[in-house]
């Protein structure tokens, strides 16, 4: 079972947890970009790529007999911090549509480049399926 770690007196984060504790079988999902199963990008739009990357994460989780609610840790690698912040109101609905009300420990890191030159976001997760 997962438990959110929220230190007393800290302002509650929006859309993520400061920390998680979990017990069970771990599933590690490599960084997923916004391409399909044939490694083709349908769009160069940031939000479209976020949606596809999250769908890819869910597909890999399912292959490991896990579901979005098992995600304990998520890291986003983005090319443009300003675009991420400007489009946050668009990211939220896409995230909730694909993952539901899942708010793991999360980091977002701006990077200079991703391996594929079309990719604008890469998302990796660690999930823990309860014993």
Q: What is the pLDDT of residue 115?
A: 95
> Would you tell me which CATH number, out of the four given (3.30.1330.40, 3.40.50.1000, 3.30.70.360, 3.90.440.10), belongs to the domain 29-130?
3.30.1330.40
pLDDT number for residue 2: 85
Q: What is the pLDDT of residue 104?
A: 96
* 100 φ, ψ (degrees, to nearest 5): 80, -160
State the pTM of this model: 0.94
What is the DSSP code string of 28-84?
A: EEEEE-SB-TTS-BS---HHHHHHHHHHHHHHHHHHTT--GGGEEEEEEEES-HHHH
Q: Which long-range contacts (CB under 8 A, 24 or more apart) does 79-83 make?
A: 79/110, 79/111, 79/112, 79/113, 79/114, 79/119, 79/120, 79/121, 80/46, 80/110, 80/120, 81/110, 83/46, 83/120
In angstroms, the CA 7 to CA 83 distance is 30
Examine the pLDDT at 1 and tell me if it is beyond 90.
no
What is the pLDDT averaged over residues 97-124?
97
pLDDT, mean of residues 9-13: 94
For the chain, give the mean pLDDT: 96
């Amino acid at each position: 079972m997962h438990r959110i770690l929220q230190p007393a007196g800290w302002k509650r984060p929006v859309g993520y947890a400061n920390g998680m504790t979990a017990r069970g079988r771990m599933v590690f999902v490599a960084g997923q970009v916004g391409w399909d199963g044939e490694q083709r990008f349908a769009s160069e739009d940031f939000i479209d790529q976020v949606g596809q990357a999250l769908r890819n994460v869910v597909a890999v989780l399912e292959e490991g007999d896990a579901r979005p609610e098992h995600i304990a840790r998520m890291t986003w690698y983005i090319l443009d911090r300003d675009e991420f912040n400007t489009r946050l109101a668009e990211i939220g609905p896409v995230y909730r549509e694909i993952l539901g009300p899942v708010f793991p420990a999360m980091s977002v890191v701006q990077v200079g480049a991703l391996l594929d030159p079309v990719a604008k976001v890469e998302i990796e997760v660690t999930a823990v399926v309860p014993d």
